[in-house]
C-alpha cells in the first residue's frame, strides 16, 4: 500500500494535469489554480524537510570530522545568519539581507566564481580544440571565427583574409604533425574559398569577421540548439510518461521493486 497509493496519486494527478492543459474550460482553470496552491503548501513542507536534512548532514560531518568538515561550519553559520536576518528584517530592497548579504557578499562571490570559471573554460577549450578529426577541425575554425568576431580587433579583420591565415595555419600544422584531418580541413577550406571567389565574380566580398560570427551563431548554431531542445523535450515527455504510468519508480526511494 505504501507504494500503490503514491503511484495511484501520481497517475491520477498526471492525467488530470494533462487534460486540463488541453481543455480551456473554467473548471480546468480553477483546478489548475487549486493545484498551484497545493504545490506551494507541499513546497513549504519540502523546504523545512530539506533544511533539516541539510543541518543534520553537516552536524554529522562535524561530529565525525570528515574531509572538509570546516566547510560545514561556514555552511551552518551562513544558513543561520541568513535565516535570522531574513526573518527579522525582511527581504525587501534596502533591508540588511539585500544590502549586506546580497550586494556585498553574494554578488562579489558570484563574480569571483565566474572569473575562476574562465580559466577552466580556457583549459577545457585547449584540450577540446585539437584538430584530430574533421569534426574537431571544423569546430576549431568555427570557434576562432566566433571568438575573434566578438572582440574589438575582429571588427577590423575581413573574413576572407582571416580564412586565408587559418588555411595556412592548418596546412603548416598538418605537415608538421602529419595529421590527415588538418590537411583535409585545409583542402576543404581552399575549395570553399575558391567557390566563394567564383560566385563573387573574383571580387573579395566586403564581409567582415563580426558579420560571419553573427551568422555562425544565428544559423548553424541556432539549428543545433533547436535540435538539442527538441531532444530534451522528447526525453522529458518520455520520462514524465514513465513516471505517470508507474514504469519509472525511482522517485519512490526504493528502486523499481
In the chain, what are the domain boundaries?
1-89, 90-128, 131-218
241 CB-near residues (< 8 Å, 6+ apart)? 247
Question: What's the DSSP call for residue 208?
Answer: B
pLDDT number for residue 232? 95
pLDDT at res. 256 = 47
Structure confidence at residue 190 (pLDDT): 72
| CA 185/CA 166 separation, integer angstroms | 10
Checking if the pLDDT of 200 tops 60, the result is no
**Concatenated DSSP letters for 29-64?**
HHHHHHHHHHHHHHHHHHHHHHHHHHHHHHHHHHHH
Q: Does residue 99 carry a pLDDT above 90?
A: no
What SS3 state is found at 158?
A: strand
Residue % of the chain over a pLDDT of 90: 12
pLDDT score of 204 more than 50: no
Mean of all residue pLDDT scores within the chain: 78
Give the three cell numbers for residue 17.
494535469
Is the pLDDT reported for residue 135 higher than 60? yes
- Closest by Cα among 160, 162, 170, 168 to 138: 170
Q: In the chain, which residue ranges form alpha helices assigned H by DSSP?
A: 4-22, 26-64, 69-89, 96, 107-128, 134-149, 159-177, 180-199, 209-218, 220-244
Q: What is the pLDDT of residues 50-98, one digit of tens each?
A: 999 999 999 999 988 888 888 999 889 988 888 888 777 777 777 777 7
Q: Is residue 219 scored above 70 in pLDDT?
A: yes
* pLDDT higher than threshold 50 for residue 257: no
Grid coordinates representing 198?
567564383
Overall average pLDDT of the 195-219 stretch = 67
pLDDT at 57: 92
Question: Could you give the CA distance from residue 38 to residue 36 in angstroms, rounded to a whole number?
Answer: 5
Place of cell 543545433: 224
CA distances from 22 to 5, 14, 18, 28, 178 (A): 26, 13, 7, 9, 60
Per-residue model confidence (pLDDT) at position 251: 77
More confident residue, 32 or 183: 32
Give the pLDDT of residue 104. Answer: 80
Span 1-19, pLDDT tens digits = 677 888 888 888 888 888 8
All three cell numbers of 64? 565525525
pLDDT in tens, 101-117: 777 888 888 888 888 88
Q: Which of 128-137, 139-148, 174-183, 215-224 has the highest mean pLDDT?
A: 215-224
Mean pLDDT, range 169-191, rounded to an integer? 66
Amino acid at each position: 500500500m505504501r507504494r500503490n497509493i503514491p503511484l495511484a496519486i501520481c497517475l491520477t494527478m498526471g492525467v488530470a494535469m494533462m487534460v486540463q492543459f488541453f481543455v480551456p474550460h473554467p473548471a480546468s482553470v480553477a483546478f489548475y489554480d487549486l493545484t498551484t496552491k497545493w504545490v506551494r503548501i507541499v513546497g513549504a513542507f519540502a523546504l523545512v524537510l530539506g533544511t533539516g536534512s541539510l543541518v543534520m548532514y553537516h552536524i554529522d560531518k562535524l561530529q565525525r570530522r570528515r574531509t572538509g568538515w570546516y566547510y560545514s561550519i561556514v555552511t551552518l553559520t551562513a544558513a543561520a545568519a541568513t535565516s535570522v536576518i531574513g526573518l527579522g528584517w525582511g527581504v525587501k530592497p534596502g533591508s540588511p539581507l539585500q544590502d549586506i548579504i546580497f550586494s556585498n557578499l553574494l554578488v562579489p562571490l558570484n563574480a569571483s566564481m565566474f572569473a575562476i570559471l574562465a580559466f577552466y573554460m580556457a583549459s577545457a577549450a585547449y584540450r577540446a580544440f585539437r584538430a584530430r578529426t574533421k569534426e574537431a577541425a571544423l569546430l576549431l575554425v568555427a570557434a576562432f571565427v566566433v571568438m575573434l568576431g566578438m572582440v574589438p580587433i575582429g571588427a577590423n579583420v575581413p573574413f576572407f583574409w582571416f580564412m586565408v591565415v587559418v588555411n595556412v595555419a592548418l596546412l603548416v600544422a598538418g605537415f608538421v604533425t602529419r595529421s590527415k584531418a588538418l590537411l583535409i580541413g585545409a583542402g576543404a577550406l581552399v575549395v570553399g574559398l575558391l567557390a566563394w571567389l567564383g560566385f563573387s565574380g573574383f571580387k573579395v566580398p566586403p564581409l567582415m569577421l563580426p558579420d560571419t560570427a553573427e551568422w555562425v551563431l544565428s544559423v548553424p548554431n541556432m539549428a543545433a540548439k533547436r535540435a538539442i531542445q527538441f531532444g530534451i523535450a522528447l526525453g522529458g515527455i518520455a520520462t514524465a510518461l514513465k513516471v505517470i504510468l508507474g514504469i519509472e519508480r525511482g522517485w519512490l526511494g526504493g528502486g523499481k521493486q
